Structure 1
Amino acid sequence: MRSIVIEPEYEAWRAAARRLLAEGVAPEEVLWVDDAREGSLFVQEEAAAMKAVQAGGAVKVPPAFLDMARSAAAHTDARRWGLLYRVLWRLTLGAERHLLAMATDRDVRQLQDWCKAVGRDIHKMHAFVRFRLVGTDDATGREQFVAWFEPEHRIVRLAAPFFEKRFAGMDWSILTPYECAHWDGTRLHFTAGVPRSSAPDEDALDDLWRTYYRSIFNPARVKISAMQSEMPKKYWKNLPEASLIAGLIAESTQRVQGMLETEERVVKPAPNNAYLKALHAMNGTEAADGTQESGTP
């Protein structure tokens, strides 16, 4: 049995898997360990296995598997490295080139389930990260923000490009227990995870979030079970607007009744505007009698 100790990252697994595959090491002969602190519990990997793979030993791997492996590697299930290598072996040396198309295969189904879980976690991170202003860089004048998030899986590297694109104009850090992402306007880099105490608690932006959330809360469309499905309670403690939810729900019945009792407002006629007429014409807007609407009362 060969013990392979790697960092818990896709790139580390890929490098080790390439070496093993080039040497023809079967999946059942490998024990994967993704925590270097536990390495002493196992027989260390032979030095020969760490040698670079010769160019002639390369094998073709379906691109679809690489995408799946990158996502599944972010899952926290300790079995992921072994299963990924087994599927890789089957696709290449096992000559099962069409394995990924077999939805009933147990290994393929497990990878798909892990990918779905990771995808949901990324979606939650995109939705529930809240940045807090911590200062301004004296040299560049750029505002600096920090956010805290607690993902279920190691998704920081997969989720970070979204924030890089959306918040390119400010310096920011996203801190998590697994890993932290940092953007300085030119470079995205990652550091080790940190505890919750490393993140700021509140700033003036929290009041803005609460004001915004209160303004968009629609009491007529409250569905508590659906809301908690999309925004599970475990995220609430890190969302400044979450403190309003209980009160807004409690007030929802009264607010809906008030909306029902409010008299309808008279609909104002569309203005006689040449630009609006042109838009109506472009959209093919027609009156009930089949003639083009003029936009006049």
Structure 2
Amino acid sequence: MLTHYDGTYPGFLTVIFARYRTLETIEIEPLTPQMDFLVAHDRVATDPAKAARVARYLCAQFGADFLRRCYAALLSVEARHETVTARTIKKCIRHGKGVLASADRDAVAFDRIVRAVYSEAHSWKGLLRFREVQDGYWYAPFAPKHDVIELLTAHFARRLNGEHFVIHDCPRGCAALYEDGRTEYFSATALSVVETADESAYQDAWRLFYKTVAIPERANPKLRQSNMPKRYWQHLIERL
């Protein structure tokens, strides 16, 4: 049986509450505009109160880090990540947190999914390139595999808390605006940004530095691509 929700974290936690007894047998997917509503399906409406109860319970039983890992799993684009996460949660409730360190199929898949999301977010923390644009803002476009914009925004809000910046997930058409200690997310397929004159000069200097420190005799394209896959290259200033 397919069970659908609105694609949000509270919506997912509501599914845990409302369909707890059948989590082992259902498949969980977000609602999509392309869904065939003539086909029978089970839909769970988001209930913030129920979601909060589940979050408090999981945090009390298994710790805040487990709750964060469940959230990270939902940022994945891997197939069945909601189903795997839900089944792992139920197994932890029934058998204890030790399930996470076992060879259980769902627990192993859950760990792999979470690691992939965290790994990509970690990579982007070092590979995101901010550009100085009009009105004193910093703009960073990127094209992630997983939906990690919220993880990155939280990181840079701590690192650059005195700045105003926009992080733009170009393929998903969404962006995060941070200013004056507040973060706002909005849809943005394209943004009109104008780089400052100083920014152009800094980019030229960075490219020159990048070329100057390179040692041609030690170039190893295969190793570089292994450590930094090509999907990270699109918005790297030194690669433009």
Relative to structure 1, the CA distance from residue 42 to residue 173 in structure 2 (aligned partners, 3 Å threshold; closer, same or farther) is farther
**Secondary structure of the residue that 1:237 maps to in structure 2?**
coil
Residue 124 (structure 1) aligned with residue 141 (structure 2):
no
Preserved CA contact (<8 Å) 2:2 2:42: yes
For the Cα contact (< 8 Å) 1:75–1:154, is it kept in 2? yes
Identify the residue that residue 237 of structure 1 maps to in structure 2. Answer: 234
Structure-1 residue corresponding to 2:22: 26
The answer (yes or no) to whether the contact 1:65–1:100 under 8 Å persists in 2 is no
**Structure 1 stretch 108-117 or stretch 204-213: which is displaced more?**
204-213
1:2, 1:29 within 8 Å by CA — same for their partners in 2? Answer: no
Corresponding residue of 1:228: 225
Unmatched 5+ residue regions in structure 1?
Answer: 137-142, 244-297
Deviations 1:243-295 (A, max 9, x none): 4xxxxxxxxxxxxxxxxxxxxxxxxxxxxxxxxxxxxxxxxxxxxxxxxxxxx
| Superimposed CA distance per residue, residues 155-194 of structure 1 (whole angstroms, 9 cap, x where no aligned partner) | 11112222112222321111113332211132122223x4
Partner SS state of residue 72, structure 2: helix
SS at match of 1:123: helix
Q: Are the structure 2 counterparts of residues 55 and 44 from structure 1 closer, same or farther at C-alpha, using a change threshold of 3 Å?
A: closer
Aligned pair in 2 of structure 1 residues 169, 59: CA closer, same or farther (>3 Å)?
Answer: closer
Greater RCO, CA 8 A, separation 6+: 2
RMSD: 3.1
| 2:142 pairs with one of 149, 174, 179 | 149
2: CA distance between counterparts of 1:46 and 1:148?
A: 34
| Matched AA of 2:186 | T
Structure 1 residue 149: Cα displacement: 0.3
Contact 1:5–1:36 (8 Å) recurs in 2: no
Identify which range, 56-65 or 157-166, moves more after superposition: 56-65
Structure index of larger Rg = 1
Residue 97 of structure 1 deviates from its aligned partner by: 4.3
With structure 2 as the length reference, what TM-score do the two structures score?
A: 0.79
Q: Tell me the amino acid that sits aligned with residue 30 of structure 2.
A: D
**Alignment equivalent of 2:203, drawn from 184, 201, 206:** 206
CA contact (8 A) 1:147 1:199 kept: no
Deviation at 1:87, TM superposition (A): 1.2
Aligned pairs for 1:1-297 within 5 A: 1=1, 3-7=3-7, 9-21=8-20, 25-37=21-33, 38=35, 40=37, 41-45=39-43, 52-53=49-50, 59=57, 61-63=61-63, 64-92=65-93, 94-102=94-102, 104-136=103-135, 143-176=136-169, 177-178=171-172, 179-192=174-187, 194-195=188-189, 197-198=190-191, 200=193, 204=200, 205-219=202-216, 221-243=218-240
C-alpha distance in structure 2 between counterparts of 1:169 and 1:59, whole Å: 36
Structure 1's 51 and 240: CA in aligned 2 closer, same or farther, altered over 3 A?
Answer: closer
CA contact (8 A) 1:2 1:43 kept: yes
1:11, distance to aligned residue in structure 2 (A): 3.9
In structure 2, distance between residues paired with 1:81 and 1:70: 10
Identity fraction in percent: 23
Partners in 1 of 2:175 and 2:219 — Cα distance? 35
Change (3 A) 1:171 1:42: farther
The answer (yes or no) to whether the contact 2:69–2:114 under 8 Å persists in 1 is yes
**1:117 Cα offset (Å):** 1.3
1:186-220 residue CA offsets vs partner (Å, 9 max, x unmatched): 2122223x43x436586514223313323433445
Q: Structure 2 stretches of 5 or more lacking a match?
A: none
Q: Following TM superposition, by how much is the alpha carbon of 1:81 offset from its aligned partner in structure 2, in angstroms?
A: 1.0
Contact 1:148 1:199 in 2 (8 A): no
Following superposition, the deviation at residue 52 of structure 1 comes to 4.6
Shift of 1:109: 1.2
